[in-house]
Structure 1
Amino acid sequence: MLHRIARATTAAGLMVSLLTSFSARAIASEPPAHCRDIAIPVSIAQGQPARYRVWGQLCTPEHRPAATVQVLVSGLNYSHLYWDFPFRSSQYSYVRQANRAGYGTFNLDRIGIGRSSHPASAEVTLESNAYTIHQVVAALRGGAIAGRAFGTVMLVGHSYGSEIAKLEASAYRDVDALVLTGNAHTVSVSAQQNLAQLGQPVGQVPRLAAEVPPGDNGYATVQDAQRPEFMYNVADADPRVIALDIATKETNTLGELSTIGDADAPGVTALLRLPILIADGADDKLACAPDATDCSSAATLAAAEQPFYPHSPVDAVVIPRAGHAINLHRNAEMAYCTIINWANRALGTPPPSK
């Protein structure tokens, strides 16, 4: 275990090399990606018919094949836009960075979110999220998406999406690596209690109310005014990004909230046997608060998390000045390059030629 924890001490040097390897000049020379919208038929529980759809966008490098695809899973109240933010995409789009590094991405709206189907809210749980992602992974591996099969699949989650990724990988053992962002086993109790008071019925947001089943009061969202307080280190975020984030907020369900801890049940993560990267913002008010996990360094974060993954090598990185939504801070590129370089190392993927 000690040698696994020690891996995190390389993160600071790794971050410097990342920014060199994926310099703005090298990225600008990369060809654009080819993207297509795809709706995948899914069921929300084993034995049920595939009555629903998960929408996603598959993007692959334009002029070279991608053997590995990253499935991107957003958190509560976020859609696929978290990974491909519609503002200054050269700075805030993880999709664009990953494609330029040679990876395919499948950036999806989770079940119950955005362009995907909205079942009854009670059926949208951590378990049904994990099961639908499992079907997405199977489609990517089997060639059912865009007529091509990917030999390597990794899950990249944010916050609740990281919980989904952990449960999916543990239950179905069908992916090769996990990236868990905005995530830790010990989270701030005080922040959780405050967040619990900030829900907003979707009926008060006409755009969201039009998406959900009529009369289903189990869909909710978060109040606009409180979103920056918990998602950001406001001092390190562009006010225009925060405003657009609020304007494009999505939903959560009571079913998701009631099952939020199921991926951390005893023995679940102990089943995992794959490389894991945990990436948190130093100013994350949920994962890295004084009453949460010690994120004072990559080493302390890895040391805190490694015992929960006894059969998996755990690396960690702490993004300075970033809050919970690390993709939406001014230094988002630092997080993106860290994840990409780690994936190269963990999966043996060569970086793009310059």
Structure 2
Amino acid sequence: MAPLKAILPLVLAGFSAARQCSNFLIPVDISSRQGQFRKVPVEGNLDVGAFATRFNEFQKNYTATLLEGYQTLVGSYNISAQYCRPDSGSKNKIQILTHGIGFDKTYWDLDYDNYKYSYVNVALNAGYSTLAIDRFGIGNSSHGDPFNEIQAQAEVEALNAVTLAVRNGHIREIDSSYKKVIHVGHSFGSVQSYWLSAKYPKNTDGLILTGYSTAGQFLAYIVAGWNLHSARLNQPLRFGNASNVVFRTVVERHGLSNNIVQGLQKLLMAAGVDLTSDEVWNELATTEVLDLTTGYNKSVISYNYPSGYLTHSDLTALQYAFLQPGNYDVGLALVAEHTKQPVTTGELLTIGNAPKMSPFTGPVLVVTGETDVPFCGGNCYGQVMGTSTSNIPEGVAKAFPSASAFESYIQPNTGHGLNFHYNATAGYQVIQDFLARHGLAAQ
């Protein structure tokens, strides 16, 4: 069981030497040809459950069912970014880091346990600069209509716009341009990095696709396992309306905002129920109650997402989707649940629209956890029917017939959310070594 302190309001501090980091917004202009979907009710959790059920129906295509036509989305938006550079090292190579569903840019620079799991620190130590972004529509980047604005295609265009700004030195907060840009993605971020390489192959110099394969048949596994909720209802003060009178009244009246466990113990004792701290912890952390209380931490940003932004239900759904039981720190998993981010209906309806092949001619590395659920069905050593590859990630090679180098690596004792596992840094080093071997060393 995780220590009691893990579920208290999380004040995680850490310091890493030899790094200079800053956070800012990058303005981007987007022109994206994408779907126009009929909207269906997704405010209540039963409606969201109905959406997921129809999305997963065997031999049916819910995207086609809701598609009414096509549109060109044109607009100006802001992409939230964290830029880091080492005190010494190359200013010519940068890694652009794109997170997956359920996370934001902090996935790459987790400050838990004094930055023990930080990918950014490993990249900086190898001499690279990094730019981690919140994907368009998520986190502190611009939000939008979840059906007809925040779709995969628009996010790829936003990623490309950021890439061009980095290459051309057009970001005010970055004092140089970068001749070599490496795209590192996780999950949906890998889908978008791959998509960018297919549509704009000259705009990237190297691809690192983590938590990824081209086996699309497991998407239904993850959509079902998430037990999707309306984000606004799942974490009402964080994802919903910060002025929510009902929840805020309960918080203030019963003093739950600073120490949730002690506050609940007092309430239970007043009702004649005597439970230990561990018993209260188990009830809180492993059920949806945890998410209802997350908004009570007044330090958490209020995003106020509209209906149509969905999220996995709780910590147990997080474990199923992203974590290999027994090989992660439960305290860190609680951080992930406290800081999780949603997925839009439009993203789910368009995630499978990426081109089938990329003309990219640079090096490509795929890194996937051995029990990855969304891209391997829980077993990356399995074989997809009709293929001759010895494992699932190896099959990505067919999408890159012109790549100068292709390698796939299965990270042992790891689920989909690679950065949250005990052995995360071993996988990070595999990435830096691959880049060094194939002409993209920082120095």
Normalising by structure 1, we get a TM-score of 0.82
Residue 261, structure 1, aligned to residue 289, structure 2: no
Count of matched residue pairs: 316
Q: Deviations over 1:270-296 (max 9, x none)?
A: 32222110001112123233677638x
The aligned amino acid for 1:105 is T
The aligned amino acid for 1:282 is E
In structure 1, the partner of 2:26 is 40
Separation in structure 2 between the aligned mates of residue 193 and residue 48 of structure 1, nearest angstrom: 26
Structure 1's unaligned 5+ residue stretches are 1-29
In structure 2, the partner of 1:154 is 182
Structure with max Cα Rg: 2
2:310 to 217, 220, 239: 220
Whether contact under 8 Å (2:382, 2:392) holds in the other structure is yes
**Percent identity, aligned pairs only?**
26
Residue 194, structure 1, aligned to residue 224, structure 2: yes
Q: Deviations over 1:288-327 (max 9, x none)?
A: 33677638xx963454221222112320111110000011
Separation in structure 2 between the aligned mates of residue 318 and residue 76 of structure 1, nearest angstrom: 20
1:177 to 206, 209, 219: 206
In structure 1, the partner of 2:121 is 96
The aligned amino acid for 1:33 is R
Separation in structure 2 between the aligned mates of residue 164 and residue 337 of structure 1, nearest angstrom: 23
Moved over 4 A (4+): 46-50, 210-214, 290-293
Whether contact under 8 Å (1:189, 1:291) holds in the other structure is no
Residue 53, structure 1, aligned to residue 78, structure 2: yes
Describe the shift of the 1:350–1:162 C-alpha distance in structure 2 as closer, same or farther (beyond 3 A).
closer
State the secondary structure of the residue aligned to 2:30.
coil
The aligned amino acid for 2:331 is R
The aligned amino acid for 1:288 is C
Whether contact under 8 Å (2:128, 2:442) holds in the other structure is no
Cα distance, 1:350 vs structure 2: 5.6
State the secondary structure of the residue aligned to 1:114.
coil
Residue 135, structure 1, aligned to residue 161, structure 2: yes
State the secondary structure of the residue aligned to 1:284.
coil
Describe the shift of the 1:65–1:308 C-alpha distance in structure 2 as closer, same or farther (beyond 3 A).
closer
Residue 83, structure 1, aligned to residue 108, structure 2: yes
State the secondary structure of the residue aligned to 1:51.
strand
State the secondary structure of the residue aligned to 1:347.
coil
In structure 2, the partner of 1:307 is 398
In structure 1, the partner of 2:9 is none
Whether contact under 8 Å (1:186, 1:292) holds in the other structure is no
Moved more, 327-336 or 340-349: 340-349
Cα distance, 1:116 vs structure 2: 0.9
Separation in structure 1 between the aligned mates of residue 133 and residue 97 of structure 2, nearest angstrom: 7
Separation in structure 1 between the aligned mates of residue 441 and residue 129 of structure 2, nearest angstrom: 12
Separation in structure 2 between the aligned mates of residue 89 and residue 257 of structure 1, nearest angstrom: 35
Residue 283, structure 1, aligned to residue 311, structure 2: no
Residue 250, structure 1, aligned to residue 341, structure 2: yes
State the secondary structure of the residue aligned to 1:337.
helix
In structure 1, the partner of 2:138 is 113
2:240 to 198, 201, 209: 209
RMSD: 2.4
State the secondary structure of the residue aligned to 1:240.
helix
Whether contact under 8 Å (1:41, 1:52) holds in the other structure is yes
The aligned amino acid for 2:188 is Y
Separation in structure 2 between the aligned mates of residue 193 and residue 54 of structure 1, nearest angstrom: 26
State the secondary structure of the residue aligned to 2:20.
strand
Describe the shift of the 1:134–1:343 C-alpha distance in structure 2 as closer, same or farther (beyond 3 A).
same
Whether contact under 8 Å (2:238, 2:304) holds in the other structure is no
Whether contact under 8 Å (2:372, 2:379) holds in the other structure is no
Whether contact under 8 Å (1:181, 1:280) holds in the other structure is yes
Cα distance, 1:108 vs structure 2: 1.0
